[in-house]
Every structure is written in structure tokens, then in C-alpha cells.
Structure 1
Amino acid sequence: MSTSTVPTPRPTQERLPWIIRAMGVVERVGNALPHPFWLFWILAALLGVASAILSAADVSVVSPSDGETVTVQNLLSGEGLAMALSTAIDNFAQFPPMATIVVVIMGVAVAERTGFLAAAMKVGVSRVPASWVVFAVAFMGTVSHVASAAAYIILVPLGGLAFRAVGRSPILGIVVAYTAIASGYDASPVPTPNDAIFAGITTAAARIVEPDAYVSPVSNWFFNIASSLLLATVITVVTRFVLAKRPDLDPDPDADLEDIGSLHLSELERSALRRASTTLLALLVLVVALLVPSGSPLRGEGGDLADSPFLEGIAMVVAILFGITGTVYGRRAGVLSSLGEVPGLMAQGIKQMAPVLVLFFSIAQFLAYFDWTHIGDVIAVEAAQLLDRGDVPVVVIFVLVLLLLSVVNVLVTSGSAMWSIAAPVIVPMLMLLSVPAETTQALFRIADSGSTAITPMSPYFVMALGFLQRYRRDAGIGTLASYTLPLALAMTATWTVLFFAWWALGIPLGPGAPVR
């Protein structure tokens, strides 16, 4: 860290006019959009009008799956209105991600609220050599996604502390941690709540073509592991050769660094972390031991692991692992005085997810209406046939889909909302071109993550800016965007290259999930 007393020039908002203008446009357009809950009801109304017009025109297609003629149904007809009213509760209750995300969150909430996840992250970013601190913080950013939104609250300030502890700019630590979480949000070496949400939405979309389709929460697991390592490496390289050379990385001389926090763990916390980690390791060994025998009841027919009760119940496995580990940590650290407090922590986790569950209600209705009208079938079949007749290479379609979703992600930063809108069209369309639903989901992960670190429409962008301003009071939207932009662009580009290499080599994306 520089010790010069001569003020160095900073790329303030006045010196970054192009960034400010671009971010201002994004912010104004994004603020004009309604809340995602209302957005889906508006889309449902537009769907009703479209279905009435297409139904009156007797629009239909022949389904490639069974040869049956599929005709658009009018959502605004008496039959459509009766369907919407009579199925509303079932649409919500049977929405694929609903039960899965609630179960996962109950377990993760125990680990997060007892302090286990925060303690593990502190150890993960503090016990590394100074030369590895960038990679450690970046990789921990991908791992932290298991904590969902709490990852930003826990790791972003820890990134600044970790860099300061090894004599590097805490501003750089804030930027690295935030970008690793935001622009790598859908890449994690461990299953996360987002995996369950996306898999459920993809399953619902895939059933437009294949009624029995099922996409597992770990269907992209192998790809996610490789992605997390690649993105951490890219962040390390770009930080070293680009960001670290900026002249504006010193905190304000009067910044109150003592009030920002510490990486220190008390002896009791360290003891609790050791006991919890040992418990987690023992549980993982037990799971492996149960899976090894070919006749294990957790395996599928003929000893198959890809189509097995274990993978179908992976959400419960994740919840149990985090729930028990968090409980052990909490008991040892003195956070939990009795096991009777555990259900309360689970309830707090579900309470935190309440806004998502409310959003799920409107999403579930929209998807049910979309499926009932058969507009998705028509669009998917016609688009697939058009692309097939035009002999458009699949890789070109991938690029177009990636660009489209990346632009939308700048304005609609909720991954579940964006995927709920796009999946019913894109997943069936690509399935009709012989692209598995799991592959389309992997492509979506890149688009859903890349631009997140640079858009002020993300509430976590504002949160990260707040952490940054504790070191630099004059930092603004343009300041943070100028830091994150090189990282976000490099991450998106290399992640895309990884996807195409994965596709070309035909490597499975996850257990029982071929890429082609």
C-alpha cells in the first residue's frame, strides 16, 4: 500500500462521464419497471390478450414429441378464467422450486444464524499467504453463494479486512469480494439454494416438451465446480495486472478503520468451528459410505446414481448437512442454549425468504397460464423449425441467447424472475433442437451472473457501495462500476469460452446430465 502523502488523482464521477451516463440510463429505465411481483401479473394480462388474438386466428402447431396438433387456447375465455381461479392454489403449492427452496433454507439458516458460515469464511480468507489473498477471497465468493443474499453481508466487508491484513488496499478487497459474488453468483462448488430454484423452473419449462422431464438441483454441478475455479483465477489475473495498477486505491486518510471489523475469531469460536468442521466431514463420509454399495437403497434401478433417490432428495441432504453442522457450531459457541432454539432459527430463515415466496406466487400463476394457453409450444416449435430450416449453427443460437439474457439481466436482476420469463420459451425451443434443458440452464447461469456486478439496479450494488464508502467517502455509482467493469467483462468472456469448450468436448454438466 502506498505511503505517499501526495494526493493521487482519482477517477471520480466527474472524470468518468461515459460510465455515469450509462449507469444513469440503466438506473432510470430499471426504476421505471414495476416490482417483479406486479411484472408477472402484467405479463399475465399481456398473455391473455395475445392468447385471445392467436386463438381467434386458430393458430396451431404439430407437436414433434407425439405428432398431436396443439392449438392456442384463449386465457380470457370462460374456460380460461375458470382454469385460472380453480388452479391458483395448486399452481402455487406445486410450483417446482417451492418446497425445495424452503427445505434447503431451513438447513442453511441454522448454519448462517449460529455464525458457522461467517466463521468459516473468516478462516477461509485469513489463513492464506499474502500472495494468495486475491484468489482466496475470489474463490470464497463463489463458495459463499450457499448463504444466498447473506453472502454479500458477510464476505464483502471481510474482503476489505483480509486485504488490509496483508498490507493491500481494502478498497481492492471490497471490489474483489463483491464482484466474485455478483458476477459469479451462479457458479459454486457446493449446491446452493439458487440451484434448487433454477432446477425447478427449468423442470417446469422442460415439461412443455417432455411431460416427465426432471432437472436435478445438481444437474450443473460439474460445470459449476470448474466455473468457480476458472472465475477465481480470472479475478486474480485481472486484479493483479489491471486493478492493482490503479492510482486510487488508498483509503481516505481519516477513514475510521478500527470501526470496520476484524477477522479475528475467539478461542471459543475456533473450537466451535473445529468441532463443526469435523462433524461435517464425518457426515460426508457417512453419505459416501451409504452410496458406495451398488445395492444401496439410495441408488436407482440397477445401481444407477444419475437417476436415484439420492439425487432426487439432494435438497434434503444439503439441508441436513448444514442444519446439523450449524447446530453443532452453535451449541459449542454458546449461541444455542438448547436444541429447542433450532426451529426458531429455521423459521427466521424462512421469514427472510418471504419476499421470494411471495414472488413465487405470481410466477407460478404466470407459468401455469403460459402452459395452458400453449403459446410456449407454438413459439418453441416455430422458432426451432425456423432455425432448423435456416441451418443456424447451435453455437450461434447459444451466443444470441447469451447476449439477450445478459442485456435483460442488467434491468431484471432477480435470477428467478428472469429465468421464469425466459425458460418457458428458450428451454423448449432448444430441446426441439436436441439441446438438453440442463445445457440451456448452464448457459443462463452465465448471463444471469456476468452483468450483475455493474448494474445499479441490483440492491447489492448499493450495499457494496456503502461498504466502499466507509473507506472512500467520495465513491459513487460510477466509481464502483469502473472498478467492477474489467472484472465482470473478463469473467463473462472466459466463462463463455469454458461453456463452448465443455459443449465441444461433450463433458457431462453434472450427475446424469449430458451436455448434448
Structure 2
Amino acid sequence: MSAPSPATPETSREPAEPPLPRIVRAMAVVERAGNALPHPFWLFWILSAILVVLSAALTGLGVSVVSPSDGETVAVRSLLSGDGLAMAVSTMIDNFASFPPMATIVVVIMGVAVAERSGFLTALMKVGVSRVPASGVVFAVAFAGTVAHVASAAAYIILVPLGGLAFRAVGRSPILGIVVAYTSIASGYDASPIPTPNDAIFAGITTAAAKIVGGEAAYVSPLSNWYFNIVSSLVLAAVITLVTKFVLSKRPDLDADPDVDLEDIGQLNLSARERSALRFAAISLVAALVALTAIILPESSPLRGEGGSIVQSPLLDGIAAIVALLFGLVGIVYGMRSGSITKPGDVPKLMVEGIRQMAPVLVLFFAIAQFLAYFDWTHIGDVLAVNAAEALKQSGVPIVVVFLLILLVLTLVNIMVTSGSAMWALAAPVLVPMLMLVHVPAETTQALFRIADSGSTAITPMSPYFLMALGFLQRYRKNAGIGTLASYTLPLAIAMTTVWTLLFLAWWALGIPLGPGAPVN
């Protein structure tokens, strides 16, 4: 009888890892591709170097175009020449100092910094999201997100955690609150009922681009999209509310980790002193607005323009300074009542802190200003704009289709280049004059850009604020990752971009002005 064969031990096998969700894989690809791009500062210097080579090649080929504004022949000029070198060296300082958004953004930020760092904006947002019933908390947080843009990057720091607290206070998922707050800021960043620093930046870049074919008289006001922005903020808040109710609220993964101490994360309540300070600040703002209205009501007001015009007037020319003064006023009043400002010397310190926060943007402006000046001097913009406009006319493609193609391209670019000022500085010198030559005002092209610059921001991990929002999310769910946040924000971003685009097209079809003195077509 043969001996039994030794038992063969069972082979232990690790369970196969489930495949990563498609959204996670897509976000990983975007992150790797974006990380391969240079910093925007260096990107514009690289583009300037490419411009040097391109201008020399086009000059050698004798490329020129007939200007539709005066019938003169405009030839491409080479930066790789004596005149080009002299221009680049002699105008470098002037290019930076005269860069249209430069002075405006510095002035606006000084005023906003006082309001933000005194605690006024934080208190205002707390009140805005805390004193609403459970049924209105989504709309309140979403609309607060559009208003929060006035605080620029600080909007994310202030409102995103407040969104989680507001939802928790009414018995809803704090995870959902963070997603709603973050997406309303990110994918609605360029829609605000209150003029923001971005309005000044975009208007300056648009003005510089419009001068390519419109001459020195071309001017785009920071309020050129104001009417459109007001309606957009309300519409986007409504879209967020609906998508949250019918899509995101149905998800089964909205609960916080069981070991999270929700009572230890923060409070929405204001102290009695803060509430008093907020009331005094509101009264001071109303008084200032009443005084300003009284000044501009008479047709002979010095703040009105020729013939009593408000559209073309010192009032709108100086709107950035007025906005800065109003924010500075409420910030000072709030700070003095709340105790965050104890002596006059504190006010300029708060302004300095605001400018310090803007230092990276100002450094980027230096590179952008040189690139735009070189681009304008070479006349490549004229050639591109005229030829592209002529091609559009001959193709017979409806202008609405052109709008949609521009939106698509810029939306995709925005996933990689999340700096709005950088992307608009690249696109405006071509798109603005090109569309102006087919009778689309510069203000309309800028409004179109706002949609593309905002919609995809909430889903791209290339945005530093995406990672910041993820950090807030991980306070409630420790294993949340990039794909987790992107899967929450994707339905909102798609719906917001789609509806915002339809709103723009309806606005265009109805011919409603985009802002004071800014016809849509």
C-alpha cells in the first residue's frame, strides 16, 4: 500500500485591488500634465522667446495686413533687430508701470485688505450662512460663494470651512457643505454681484487687447460685465441648489467619519461685540452710499460726464477707487468697534498685509506686461486678428458656434492654467481684436471668457485651492482623496458651465447690455 502523498498547502492569494474610478484616473493624468508646465512667470518669458523667433521669421517673409481701421498697411516687426532690442530694453519699466490692471488692483486690494483683515468679511459671511433655515442653506452658501469673491483667495479660506459648519448647524452633511461652498467659489469665481479685484484685472487686460484694433481710445471699464455678473451669481446659486438637491444629496457617502468630533471643529456664532461692529459697519456703508447718490443725482454733478452722462463719467472712471474706499470704510468702522483696529497706525498695516498677499500676482504681472508689450509692438496681433476675422466672415460660421468653440478651448486650457489673469493675458490679444472685427464688443468677449475661466476650476487638481478644499474635506473624512472631491464637484461644474453658457447666449440674443455703457452686440 503506497504512502499517502504529502498534503499540498493551499496557495494564499491577496484579493485583487478594485480598479480606480475613471474620474480618479483622469484627475491623475491632469495633475501629471499640469505639473510638467512651468510656473506662469516662466511660461510668459518662454512665450516671449518664442515671439522673438516668430517675429523674425514673419518679418523675413514680409507678412503684413491692411488695417481695417485706417486702411494703412501694417507689417510684422522683428524683435530680433536693433529696434526690437532697443524697445525691449528701454520700455521694460514703463511696460510694468503702465500695465493697465497694475495700479487699479493695488488700490482695490488696499481697501479690501482692511475689510478682510479687520474681520468684517468673515463676520459678514458667518451671518450670511448662519441665519437661514435648513431649506435655504444650500442657496445661502452658494450665493455667499459668489459674493465672497471680493475677498479674492481669502474667500476659500473663510467660506469653505464655514460651509461645512452651516450645513452641520441645520442637521445636514458637513461634507456636502464644504463641496457646495468650494464649488460656488471655484466654478463661479468670475460671477459676483459686487465688483471684485478680478474685474479690475480683466478689464485692464481687455483694454490693452482692444487697443490693437480700436486705438488708444479703446477702454473697458471694471463694471463692463456688472449686470451680467449680478444675474449670473443668482442663476449659478440656483443651479447649485438644484443639483445638490437632486444629485449630490442622493449619494450614500455623505456621512462624516464616526470618530470625528463635530463639536470641536468650530462655531458660526458671533460675539455681541462682533454683532455690534457689523451693525455699525452696515450703517456706515449705507450712509456712504446715500452720500454718493446725493452727489451724483444732479445733472451738473462733477462726477458726471459731458451732458450729465453717468456711463462716460469720472464716477465710472474712478469706480475702482470708490470700491476701495467703501471697503476701507466698513473695515475701519468694524475694526474699531470689534477691537481688531485699536489705533490709526493699524490701518496701513492691514493694507500692507493685503499687498504682501498680492506679491505673487504682481511678480506675474511683470512678465505678462513684457509679453503683451512685445506682442503689441510686433503687430502679430493685428495680423492674426484681421486674418482670423476675415476667415470667419468667409466661412459663414454662425457667431454662436464661434462662441461655443472658444468656450470649449478655454475651458480645457483652464484645467491646466488655473491663473485667470495668465490665461486671459494669453487669449485676449488674439480673441478680443478678432471678434471686434466681426462686430463683437470687447466686453462681450470678456464675459465669454469669465465662463471658461470659472467652470472647470472646481475639478482641476492644478488649483492650489482644490488641495486646500480637500484638506477641509479630510477633517470630516480622513480617507478622502483627489478623486473623492472631484467626483463631488464634477456634476456641479458641468451643470454650472452649461447653464451659464445658455444664459450668455440668451443675453446675446436679447441684446441686453452687459454693464453700464457696455452693449452686448
Q: TM-score range by the shorter chain?
A: over 0.9
Q: Distance in 2 between matches of 1:318 and 1:366?
A: 29
User: Which stretch shows the higher mean deviation, 332-341 or 481-490?
Assistant: 332-341
Partner of 2:441 in structure 1? 436
Partner of 2:9 in structure 1? none
Partner of 1:388 in structure 2? 393
Q: Distance in 1 between matches of 2:486 and 2:316?
A: 39
Q: In the alignment, does 2:181 pair up with 1:173? A: no
Partner of 1:252 in structure 2? 257
Which of 132, 142, 150 in structure 2 is aligned with 1:128?
Answer: 132
Which of 226, 229, 232 in structure 2 is aligned with 1:224?
Answer: 229
Name the amino acid aligned to 1:109: A
1:276-303 CA-to-partner distances (Å, cap 9, x unmatched) read 1111111111112212111111111001
Q: Distance in 2 between matches of 1:283 and 1:69?
A: 52
Partner of 2:103 in structure 1? 99
* C-alpha distance 124-371 of structure 1, shift in aligned 2 (>3 A): same
Deviation at 1:256, TM superposition (A): 2.6
Q: In the alignment, does 2:313 pair up with 1:308? A: yes
Partner of 2:238 in structure 1? 233
Query: Runs ≥4 in structure 1, deviation > 4 angstroms?
Result: 13-16
Name the amino acid aligned to 2:249: A
Partner of 1:67 in structure 2? 71
Secondary structure of the structure 2 residue equivalent to 1:61: strand
The 5 Å alignment of 1:26-425 reads 26-211=30-215, 212-425=217-430
Q: Distance in 2 between matches of 1:94 and 1:507?
A: 32
Name the amino acid aligned to 1:468: L
Partner of 2:502 in structure 1? 497
Secondary structure of the structure 2 residue equivalent to 1:208: helix
Secondary structure of the structure 2 residue equivalent to 1:48: helix
Name the amino acid aligned to 1:80: G
Q: Is the 8 A contact 1:227 1:495 kept in 2?
A: yes
Secondary structure of the structure 2 residue equivalent to 1:427: helix
Secondary structure of the structure 1 residue equivalent to 2:213: coil
Q: Distance in 2 between matches of 1:203 and 1:16?
A: 46
Partner of 2:520 in structure 1? 515
1:402-430 CA-to-partner distances (Å, cap 9, x unmatched) read 01100100000000000000000000000
Secondary structure of the structure 1 residue equivalent to 2:515: coil
Structure 1 unaligned segments of length 5 or more: list them.
1-12
Structure 2 unaligned segments of length 5 or more: list them.
1-16
Name the amino acid aligned to 1:426: L
Q: Distance in 2 between matches of 1:213 and 1:14?
A: 58
Q: Distance in 2 between matches of 1:294 and 1:515?
A: 27
Partner of 1:470 in structure 2? 475
Q: Distance in 1 between matches of 2:29 and 2:146?
A: 29
Q: Distance in 1 between matches of 2:480 and 2:20?
A: 12
> Given the two structures, how large is their TM-score scaled by the length of structure 1?
0.97
User: Which stretch shows the higher mean deviation, 33-42 or 335-344?
Assistant: 335-344
Q: Distance in 2 between matches of 1:293 and 1:404?
A: 47
* C-alpha distance 203-14 of structure 1, shift in aligned 2 (>3 A): farther
Deviation at 1:511, TM superposition (A): 0.2
Secondary structure of the structure 2 residue equivalent to 1:339: coil
Q: Distance in 2 between matches of 1:405 and 1:285?
A: 41
Q: Is the 8 A contact 1:16 1:478 kept in 2?
A: no
Secondary structure of the structure 2 residue equivalent to 1:207: helix
Secondary structure of the structure 2 residue equivalent to 1:434: coil
Which of 482, 500, 506 in structure 1 is aligned with 2:511?
Answer: 506
Name the amino acid aligned to 2:253: D
Deviation at 1:16, TM superposition (A): 5.1
Q: Distance in 2 between matches of 1:227 and 1:16?
A: 36
Secondary structure of the structure 1 residue equivalent to 2:74: strand
Name the amino acid aligned to 2:497: T
1:189-215 CA-to-partner distances (Å, cap 9, x unmatched) read 000000000000000000001111000
* C-alpha distance 14-414 of structure 1, shift in aligned 2 (>3 A): farther
Partner of 1:7 in structure 2? none
Q: Distance in 1 between matches of 2:163 and 2:299?
A: 44
Q: Is the 8 A contact 1:183 1:449 kept in 2?
A: yes
Q: Distance in 1 between matches of 2:19 and 2:187?
A: 25
Secondary structure of the structure 2 residue equivalent to 1:216: coil
Count of matched residue positions in the alignment of Structure 1 and Structure 2:
504
* C-alpha distance 120-15 of structure 1, shift in aligned 2 (>3 A): farther
Deviation at 1:14, TM superposition (A): 5.6
User: Which stretch shows the higher mean deviation, 426-435 or 386-395?
Assistant: 386-395
Q: Is the 8 A contact 1:272 1:333 kept in 2?
A: yes
Deviation at 1:259, TM superposition (A): 3.0
Q: Distance in 2 between matches of 1:375 and 1:246?
A: 52
Deviation at 1:473, TM superposition (A): 0.3
1:205-234 CA-to-partner distances (Å, cap 9, x unmatched) read 000011110000000000000000000000
Q: Distance in 2 between matches of 1:297 and 1:63?
A: 38
Q: Distance in 2 between matches of 1:267 and 1:17?
A: 48
1:390-412 CA-to-partner distances (Å, cap 9, x unmatched) read 11111111011101100100000
Q: Distance in 2 between matches of 1:319 and 1:451?
A: 30
User: Identity over aligned residues, as a percent?
Assistant: 76
RMSD: 0.9
> Given the two structures, how large is their TM-score scaled by the length of structure 2?
0.96
